[in-house]
Amino acid sequence: MTRIFTLTTLIMAASVAQAETEITDLNEDGVYSFDELVAAYPDLEESLFLQMDLNADGQIDQDELNTARGAGVLPG
């Protein structure tokens, strides 16, 4: 029984890891520019980026990204 539970847990963790889209912070400034997000999400439109940018600083920080993902605006 323990082996089945462990195997199931590992499979679920692998599925979640695969589902999360890899975003690269190219200039390593801790936030994501429109270009950096478009590299991960090619269909991202600027209007959606601006909606995600809650503090209107022209960048998406981790909290804004998590909010967008949580709202279903961006896939994991």
Q: Could you read off the pLDDT of 59-75 as tens digits, one per residue?
A: 999 999 999 999 998 88
Q: Which two tokens stand for residue 24?
A: 């690269």
In a domain, 70, yes or no: yes
Find the length of the chain.
76
Q: Is-contact 52 58, C-beta < 8 A? A: no
In a domain, 4, yes or no: no
C-alpha 31/C-alpha 14 separation (Å) is: 26
Domain span at residue 65 reads: 21-76
Domain count, the chain: 1
DSSP letter at 61?
-
Residue 9 three-state SS: helix
Burial (0-12, 13-18, 19+ Cβ within 10 Å), 32? buried
Q: What is the CATH number of the domain that holds 75?
A: 1.10.238
Q: Convert the pLDDT of each residue in 6-50 to its tens digit.
A: 444 444 444 443 457 899 999 999 999 999 999 999 999 999 999
